[in-house]
Chain A
Amino acid sequence: AQSVSQHNHHVILSEAASLELGCNYSYGGTVNLFWYVQYPGQHLQLLLKYFSGDPLVKGIKGFEAEFIKSKFSFNLRKPSVQWSDTAEYFCAVATGGFKTIFGAGTRLFVKA
C-alpha cells in the first residue's frame, strides 16, 4: 500500500539553526508531492509543491524541498529558522486520481 513516512515526530531547534525534515514515500509510479504547514490555531496551508520539472522547489517563507526520485524522498529544508516557524509540518503525496496521502506530521518548536 502507498504510504508516506516522516522521520521525526518532534524537532526542537534554536532560532537561526538550519532545518531539514525528512519525508519518504512508497510508490513506484509518478507522484505529485506537497508540504503543508499548520501554525498553532490555524488551518492547514500549502508550503510548497512538486509536480514536474526542477526537483528543487521553493515555497513560501524561505522553505525549499528537493525531490530525489531514486530515494523516494522529498525533504524539506530551511537554512535559518525563526520562532514564527513553530508549527506542524505534513508531507503529502498524490499518486494519481485525486487521493492524497499524508504523513503523520512533524512538530517543530523553535526556541527564541
Chain B
Amino acid sequence: DTGVSQNPRHKITKRGQNVTFRCDPISEHNRLYWYRQTLGQGPEFLTYFQNEAQLEKSRLLSDRFSAERPKGSFSTLEIQRTEQGDSAMYLCASSLGPAGGLDEQFFGPGTRLTVL
C-alpha cells in the first residue's frame, strides 16, 4: 500500500499524559498537512509543511501541540499534557504540489485519540 499511513490508529491516554502520532506521507509528496476532526464536524486545519518547513499553523494549535517533519519525509504530532477536549480523530494528508500551487490532498486513515 503506497498511500498515507498513520500510527497508531487508536490511542487511549489519561489526562495529563503526552502523546505522539506519526504520519508517513506518499513518498514523493513534498507537502504534508495535519487536521483534527471531532464527531459531527469536518476536518479542521492544524498545520502544514512544505518539505521540512512548517509554513502555516492554525490558532487551534495551542502551545501544547507541536509538529515536526525533520527530514521532509515523515511527520510527528505531539500533544503535551493532554486534556479531555483533545479527544478527536487526527488526520494527516499529503500532496505533490508545484511551487505556489494548490493540489489534491491524499488523506491517511487517521489516529483516534481518547483522553480519559
Residue positions of A touching B, CB distance < 8 A: 4, 9, 32, 36, 43-46, 49, 51, 90, 92, 94, 97-105
Q: Is the CB of A45 within 8 A of B42?
A: no
Can you name 21 A-B residue pairings with CB atoms under 8 Å?
A4-B42, A32-B102, A36-B107, A44-B107, A45-B106, A45-B107, A46-B104, A49-B104, A90-B42, A94-B102, A97-B48, A98-B48, A98-B50, A98-B102, A99-B56, A99-B58, A100-B33, A103-B42, A104-B40, A104-B41, A105-B40
Residues in chain B within 8 A of chain A (CB atoms): 3-4, 31, 33, 35, 40-45, 48, 50, 55-56, 58, 91, 93, 102, 104-110
Nearest-Cβ distance from residue A100 to partner chain B, whole angstroms: 6
Say whether A43 contacts B55, CB under 8 Å: no
Q: Give Cα A65 to B5, complex, Å.
A: 30
Whether A98 pairs with B109 at a CB distance below 8 angstroms is no
Q: Which 3 A-B pairs have the closest CB atoms?
A: A102-B42, A44-B107, A98-B48
**Contacts A46-B104, A98-B50 supplied; 20 other A-B pairs, CB < 8 Å:** A9-B40, A43-B3, A43-B107, A43-B108, A45-B106, A45-B107, A51-B102, A97-B48, A97-B55, A97-B56, A98-B31, A98-B55, A99-B45, A99-B56, A100-B45, A100-B105, A102-B35, A102-B44, A104-B41, A105-B41
